[in-house]
Structure 1
């Protein structure tokens, strides 16, 4: 092969590419990790299935605290199974939620599973609202059909609830406020599908929010980042793109130089091979240089006659 004599050039090019691309890939992953958000809907499905497996035969009306795996440390989950008739007549007051009576689950099921969530210090990992900061943990409320025939047809699917009376009351026991946050805080509701966001007023001093549907709930205040923080983030983004652009430019230059050298070496090798195949010449060494040399004269000169004066 023509390039077999240039393995060293290919190796240098390969290692130069690695030395530039790998740091850039690590930097890109690090930058992306800072803005990564987990999917709360996948988490809801996981918690429901995990709760059903953790409590094989739940007793109706008994609240169970579910211990999640260690990678969900800080998240609190509880779970209760109720008869739909009891939920309609009495409602339910468990965890951080006060569910009023006259609530109907559709499609109808004789029993329902109610799952309560407190995301705790992982709230920011699952939820984000531009220009707002959480001052309370995100709380979740989800209702599932629990009948055997219902579960077989609608596994891991929430029912739709209809409130005929008072709203659901969400009680926040842990709220972190600064001096002026009382005037600006708002209740926020993330809809069951995780996309719809609604704001409403906070009831003080008990820090409660009203809801008319299941989903995720919290209290937020407008973000007030100091100018130094904003400038620092802008500088970090600027350096990020400069490093990527500069690294790519340097990689392009080195690649061009190495390709040019490889092409020139290939061209010289082709010329040498062509010259060796065209005319058979002897090779002599002069010093440390290898040079072609013509052989001796084929026929010796002969006089026209043998007469010698």
Structure 2
């Protein structure tokens, strides 16, 4: 049993090391995108009071954020559902549902400008447009932008992202790609719908990239790596379970063989009986009586 327990422990260790890895675009040098997003939200609340609903409000950032732009708008949820929103670099069509839904929501828009490559990097790709993003929050009466983040569910057309300024890519026949950054540094690369437009069905940060000069040919969808890792993970589990089952069979056979040998040794120590056949069955037969019968009381007639 101890050997069996050790096999289970080693199998769990191997499985824990075989989980698939995600492609990530990690910020370096302490530039954290999440911290920046939270700062812009808090700075907007501190710098502006009683903003008008439906009006885009520009946020005057500190001097050390020169080159970066931010703005926000408060919208009634009913109008947002029926009319959508068209602010900054984003066109949000009608029939988009904010979750959780309240009476009013606030959307913060970001344009990182020349700070883009400091906060976001994509391996084997080069940014050729500023990183732009938008985040949605609740908007209670007490504050313009609440702390609760919202998500969007699009029932109609997707959200359009416009990039008016895209740098010229080096080389000929270089295909530009859309990149969407998610939480934790994850990203997804997709095709552009036009020369300067991308689409999405959720919130986040976006930009345009081209393959780096030394990078391999771009893949239309990088999710194949995730599928490959997932497939390898499943194969590893199958082989691990098969190996564990083989070990259990070997242990069972060893224990059975050990019991048989023990029974054979015990049978060799016992007295051997003669055998005779009854039909097709072989039966034991005692050839002699080891203890002679005698009377317990000799005076009994």
Q: What TM-score does the superposition give when structure 2 sets the normalisation length?
A: 0.59
Pairwise CA distance, 1:179? 5.2
1:115 to 95, 108, 118: 108
CA contact (8 A) 1:117 1:140 kept: yes
Instruction: State the partner residue of 2:199.
Output: 210
Written as runs of structure 1 = structure 2, the 5 A alignment for 1:45-84 is 45-84=38-77
Shift >4 Å, 4+ stretches: none
Flag structure 1 segments of 5+ consecutive residues without an equivalent: 1-33, 227-309
Q: What SS does the corresponding residue of 2:185 show, helix, strand or coil?
A: coil
For 2:190 and 2:110, the matched residues in 1 are separated by: 21
For 2:150 and 2:135, the matched residues in 1 are separated by: 8
Instruction: State the partner residue of 2:153.
Output: 162
For 2:212 and 2:60, the matched residues in 1 are separated by: 33
Instruction: State the partner residue of 1:273.
Output: none
How has the CA–CA distance of structure 1 residues 137 and 37 changed in structure 2, closer, same or farther, with 3 Å as cutoff?
Answer: farther
CA contact (8 A) 1:172 1:208 kept: yes
Q: What SS does the corresponding residue of 2:166 show, helix, strand or coil?
A: coil
* CA deviation map 1:93-135 (0-9, x unaligned): 0110001111111111111111111000000110011111000
Pairwise CA distance, 1:185? 1.4
* CA deviation map 1:192-231 (0-9, x unaligned): x2433111111333x10000100000000111159xxxxx
How has the CA–CA distance of structure 1 residues 182 and 120 changed in structure 2, closer, same or farther, with 3 Å as cutoff?
Answer: farther
Written as runs of structure 1 = structure 2, the 5 A alignment for 1:1-309 is 35-148=28-141, 155-178=146-169, 180=171, 183-191=174-182, 193-205=183-195, 207-225=196-214
For 1:213 and 1:61, the matched residues in 2 are separated by: 21
Pairwise CA distance, 1:36? 1.6
CA contact (8 A) 2:82 2:95 kept: yes
CA contact (8 A) 1:106 1:159 kept: yes
Q: What TM-score does the superposition give when structure 1 sets the normalisation length?
A: 0.57
CA contact (8 A) 2:126 2:211 kept: yes
CA contact (8 A) 2:112 2:131 kept: yes
For 1:112 and 1:40, the matched residues in 2 are separated by: 22
More helix by share: 1
CA contact (8 A) 1:38 1:125 kept: yes
* CA deviation map 1:17-50 (0-9, x unaligned): xxxxxxxxxxxxxxxxx95251101111110111
CA contact (8 A) 2:124 2:214 kept: no
Computed over aligned residues only, the root mean square deviation of the Cα atoms, in angstroms, reads 2.2
